[in-house]
Amino acid sequence: MNEHHWVERRTFLSDHAMIRELYDKVSLSRVQVTSGINAHSKKPYTSYRYTSHTHISIRPLKNGTRVLRIHQWKPKHKARGGIWRTVTAERYLDVTSEVRDAVQRMWERVIGPVDPRVMKLASNPDFVRALAYPYLLNFTDDTGSRLKYLPEFGLGKAFRQDNPKAVTVELFGRRNTRKDLVKAVAGADPAALVFAHEAKRHVPIDWVVEMLRANRIRQGKWEMLDVAPAVKVLKMMPDHRRRPLLLDATDVTLHEARDTIRMVDEAREHLGNPTWIGDPILAAKTWTEIHDAAVRERRRITSIKTNVDIPQGPIHSAIDGLTAGELTITTAKDTLTLEHWGDEMHHCIGSYHGHAAAGRSILAAVHNQNGKLIANLELDRDGRPMQLRGKYNANLPDEQDVAVLNAVVDAVKRARRVKPMKVRRLAAAAA
């Protein structure tokens, strides 16, 4: 079909949404309609304000190839104008069944028939993601009706390919591409590919192949793993330490690396030396040993030994002593308690002492029926859960995770219903 012979097609989903279909572009626009009486003229008025635009296009690149791209516009908060951004890697895509049909028609007239595996996908956003990133079709559920992962940041260009060899070339370069690396890439998790892609500059490619074969890094559903801190840790370690660390990398150790970098940055800031690395850190052999050494060095350098009381507010009182099945939640009363928790759980809760003392975070511990510490909890100042992490920053089992979070959310809601002013008035009335 000649694109110059194409006539624009418009579909009105409602009074507030319209699909605009061009030869190689589909747009979904949504508006907010406001009606009322003008305060000055006393005349009725109706105003229209765009709330979002979603553009899905298959326009050619400079080299002539066509790829599906998605851009979405959102208005700025309390400001004029808006922001355009690529949203294929976002959880939420504004794709209705009508938009899916329009995208399918666009693909068939510009590219050709849609892959049957893509047609099998039940989710409308997954349908669009699979057209944009064909390699994601290698990571579907058992029925083939849903994608397991979002396209990881850093893998966008590679995942536009449809076979492991092409993905390997994009990630590691044509010079490094070889059969054992292609096989390792084909069997690796997307999170492992991101880490390998970022680490390739600091280790031999043979070590990367070994790491991908082990495939110990797993991406949780809809969870983006930040691999940058782990690569920073790998880079600051001596060369002879890097191979064991690379082969020992898991999704848990990536969380440990984030905490390690935070500890090192705090120590460097206190020393005024941006390149400082303590000898105990360099002598560590595993991710956990590096993390624990960084915590000890940060504590030694910043001399956080004075115990500061943590103010206890209404939300502290609401969750302190709260039970969730066989689990008990207790809040931290002083900063030294946070240090002890961090030592026992091998994570960085001790570094949150400033946030807790200033009231910016509410920190608590979760104990089992035997009184053993199994996790730590962070809420923001309004009582919204931010983190719930076990030992080495691992996640709790799903049933415990849900039980604790539900109990905390319910307790915070009850605490918010009792306003301090009403309590004082009732007390005065009783007097």
User: What is the per-residue pLDDT for 259?
Assistant: 86
Residues 6+ away with beta carbon under 8 Å from 420: 314
CB 156 within 8 A of CB 186: no
User: What is the per-residue pLDDT for 398?
Assistant: 87
CB 8 within 8 A of CB 102: no
Task: Say how far apart CA 237 and CA 394 lie, in whole Å.
Answer: 24
User: What is the per-residue pLDDT for 30?
Assistant: 92
CB 405 within 8 A of CB 364: no
Question: pLDDT under 50 in the chain at which residues?
Answer: 222, 418-431
- Return the H-helix or E-strand segment holding 47: strand 44-57
Boundaries of every domain in the chain: 3-113, 156-302, 314-417
Q: How many other C-beta atoms lie within 10 A of the C-beta of residue 116?
A: 8
pLDDT tens by residue, 381-422: 888 898 898 988 888 888 999 999 999 999 998 887 644 433
- Three-state SS for 112? coil
User: What is the per-residue pLDDT for 428?
Assistant: 34
- Three-state SS for 105? helix
Residue 384: name the closest of 357, 360, 419, 366 by CA.
360
314-417 is a CATH 2.60.40 domain: no
DSSP code of residue 40: T
User: What is the per-residue pLDDT for 429?
Assistant: 33
